[in-house]
Amino acid sequence: MTKQLNIRSDEAHRLAHLIAEQTGRPVVEVVVEALREYGSKLPPVDDMTPTQRAGYEALRNLARRAVKYKHSGATSDHSYLYDEHGLPI
């Protein structure tokens, strides 16, 4: 059975329906995507030491700064470098 979530907020209702209408997607997809995106920006909950946490945060900050240099259409797909057997061309 699918679980249900009730949110009593006029603003949440308005925003979810507005975005769904603009994108042509169901409201539930819009809400789930927004929650996933929000969750992906939160730091992971784990048992990092202060030194590990500092290193992790330094890498996240570096990634945030580097994204502005990403070329449009850039991808990590390098399949063109390999033949049909997975060997380098």
In the chain, how many H helices and how many E strands? 3, 0
- Asked whether residue 14 is domain-assigned, the answer is yes
Count of residues for the chain?
Answer: 89
Question: Which residues constitute the domain of residue 36?
Answer: 10-69
Q: Is residue 86 part of a domain?
A: no
Mean pLDDT of the chain: 91
**Number of domains comprising the chain:** 1
- 82 in helix, strand or coil? strand
Residue 42 lies in a domain: yes
Residue 33: inside a domain, yes or no? Answer: yes
- Assess if residue 83 is contained within a domain: no
Let me know: does 81 contact 89? Beta carbons within 8 Å: yes
pTM here? Answer: 0.49
Residue 81 is assigned to a structural domain of this protein? no
Tokens in use for 58?
A: 């330094």
Query: Is-contact 57 42, C-beta < 8 A?
Result: no
- Residue at 82 is within a domain: no
Residue type (1 letter), 2: T
pLDDT in tens, 27-37: 999 999 999 99
Indicate if the pLDDT at residue 22 is higher than 90.
yes
pLDDT tens digits for 23-64?
999 999 999 999 999 999 987 777 888 999 899 999 999 999
The rounded distance, in Å, linking the Cα atoms of 89 and 86 is 9
